[in-house]
Structure 1
């Protein structure tokens, strides 16, 4: 099964142009399937049966994996089998018989505008690191991009004069505007801090760590946790919380869903619809509290 998994990952990379994180996620999920099948004495992928696959799903459920995790694993198996069937490695796609568990859709956690302001005001020093941190936080909230997209930005992806960034997601590109606060923070960073951060190298990465190397996701995750704590925010804040907050605040203030969808890079507008639902819920709450006959 190892050879087939390697071929599948290569297909994702070369044909589907998936991100490294997506490929790693598939690889992890399928490695677990491989290990489970080997423990059952099944080493040939062509000898795996529907019963074997259902046993694996049952194993996940019995070991108290969350419904979302089980669903993701099933999606990985289905994608893998679709590839193998298409390539003629297996005669039939037995994964079609698998059914994902129902997932209770949770509304994303968002910050209030006051919390966002408190967070963004935390890097207020004049050191190169704090100037960089301020620019990163401002740009993240101003554009709603993913943390991977943020740390992958190149200097030439930023147009300060026109106020937009060019964001690349696998083989797609999208232009996202940003406002005056983010522009000011970026300008200060580029003029006063970036050369110090890159130590005079010819790096084209927009944001680097203190050693002049590209910043990691974990590095930025720690950064945002640090400033959330300084801001007195007790909720569990992650980089994605700012992305959700960006979208929710735009919709709350009248932005149309299609525009928000385009800025977020969602392929399906139903993914963006959740922010409109959040806004409807908030309006209902306000009505119930304020209306004399609510």
Structure 2
């Protein structure tokens, strides 16, 4: 759907309220108790490297962590991607405690506040800090319910208040430049063009596009079955540019990459499923080639998709459903929208996209 719906502004630019907060966390290394400003104090980072060179989780702590993740994942039908994120956040906190010589079940309220201060002092994005604090609180609430604690030590501890910044958004011409940076007809070139078109054209999360199978995409109907957060399924739609790129990739490119019986839509050069990290690297690669003015990552394409649709007149609730986004703060605001209404709005958007595409074709011919 090239390019979702363009802003009414003639120059293709979209208003921005401020730069997007940096995503991810800076590495937090070796944990020792350091006096002074919290910013100077660094708990150990999670991951295999930290487990080999710094504090480690003891077997009892590891067993409880895995038991919690298994129970929570099963109760909430969480995707493997979401469970992995929970594990990473909890390991990060528990390794920090280990670095400070604090047993998991002996942690107190000041320890979480100390951890929060360290994260903020090391430049971790506020959204990431809020997520980590929420994950830790849920874990200790479970420990209390399981009878392993007499009281929940972190009850009521809140992360930093949400900021008011809005993310950067690529305008329609930036999207064109990004996709145009993919040149060539080799299998990986066809894959990358289809990947970029679908990330933007359907507003997918990076984990969602990575988990797609060939059977999830209907090029003729221009729909895609998406497994979102909590393994909830939704139907997304995309426009003609994405449909053409996908059709060519599946017909000409994928067979040059596919391993036997591999169901994944997007494949790496070894024939296996393209990972989330690989998708992120592909987007960054072509953003650099295109010389785009902002740091581009897959979620920025999703933001752009939503903004362009809204700028083009799409109903806010329809966009909410297309994104598969749920928030406790907005659940009551967004009401159910029927598939018929969603399709009607999207068809109107697609008609507008056709007009934009025709104008672009005329400009290319005249240029």
TM-score (norm 1): 0.83
Equivalent residue, structure 1, for 2:356: none
C-alpha spacing 1:36/1:215, structure 2 compared with 1 (3 Å): closer
What SS does the corresponding residue of 2:251 show, helix, strand or coil? helix
2:272 matches 1:243? no
Deviation at 1:269, TM superposition (A): 8.2
1:105 to 159, 164, 184: 164
2:202·2:305 contact (CA, 8 Å) conserved in 1?
Answer: yes
Which whole-Å CA distance do the structure 1 matches of 2:90 and 2:108 have between them?
Answer: 16
Indicate the SS of the match to 1:208.
Answer: coil
Shift in alpha-carbon separation, 1:144–1:100, aligned structure 2, 3 A:
same
Q: 1:10 aligns with which of 70, 78, 94?
A: 70
Q: Is the 8 A contact 1:70 1:100 kept in 2?
A: yes
Contact 1:251-1:257 within 8 A present in 2 as well: yes
Which ranges in structure 1 are unaligned for 5 or more consecutive residues?
274-294
Determine which structure has greater relative contact order: mean sequence separation of CA pairs < 8 Å that are 6+ residues apart, divided by chain length.
Answer: 2
- 1:40-55 correspondence runs (5 A): 40-43=100-103, 45=105, 47-55=106-114
Counterpart-to-counterpart distance in 2, 1:232 and 1:52: 44
1:123 equivalent among 174, 182, 202: 182
**Distance of 1:62 and 1:121 partners within structure 2:** 40
* Deviation digits for residues 38-87 of structure 1 (CA, Å, limit 9, x no counterpart): 44543251x33334433433444555544334322211221112222333
Cα deviation 1:117-149 (Å, max 9, x = unaligned)? 111222242222111111111111110011111
User: 2:154 is matched with which residue?
Assistant: 95
Q: How does 1:25-64 map to 2 (within 5 A)?
A: 25-43=85-103, 45=105, 47-61=106-120
User: Which one of 197, 213, 224 corresponds to residue 138 of structure 1?
Assistant: 197
1:239–1:90 CA distance, 2 compared to 1 (3 A) = same
Distance 1:240 1:51, change over 3 A: closer
Aligned partners of 2:159, 2:129: CA distance in 1, in Å?
7
- CA separation in 2, counterparts of 1:248 and 1:101? 26
Equivalent residues of 1:123, 1:134 under 8 A apart: yes
Count of residue correspondences: 271
Match in the other structure for 2:140? 81
Cross-structure match for 2:215: 156
Q: Which residue of 1 aligns with 2:254?
A: 194
Cα separation, partners in 2 of 1:254 and 1:63, compared to 1, 3 Å: closer
CA contact (8 A) 1:2 1:34 kept: no
What is the root-mean-square deviation in Å for CA atoms of aligned residues? 2.3
- Deviation, structure 1 residue 270: 5.3
Secondary structure at the aligned position of 1:105 is classed as: coil
Query: Is the contact made by 1:155 and 1:206 (CA closer than 8 Å) also made in structure 2?
Result: yes
Distance (whole Å) between structure 2 residues aligned to residue 83 and residue 49 of structure 1:
15
Residue 284 of structure 1 corresponds to: none
| TM-superposed deviation, 1:206 | 0.9
For structure 2, the 5+ residue unaligned runs are 1-60, 334-367
In 2 relative to 1, CA 64–247 (structure 1 residues): closer, same or farther, beyond 3 Å?
Answer: closer
Task: Provide the rounded CA distance (Å) in 2 between the counterparts of 1:50 and 1:40.
Answer: 14
> Is the 8 Å Cα contact of residues 81 and 207 (structure 2) preserved in structure 1?
no
CA contact (8 A) 1:50 1:97 kept: no
List structure 1 segments (4+ residues) > 6 angstroms apart after TM superposition. Answer: none
TM-score by length of 2: 0.68
Counterpart CA distance in 1 for 2:71 and 2:93 is 19
Per the alignment, do residues 119 and 37 of structure 1 end up closer, same or farther by CA in structure 2, a change over 3 Å counting? closer
In terms of fraction of residues, the more helix-rich structure is 1
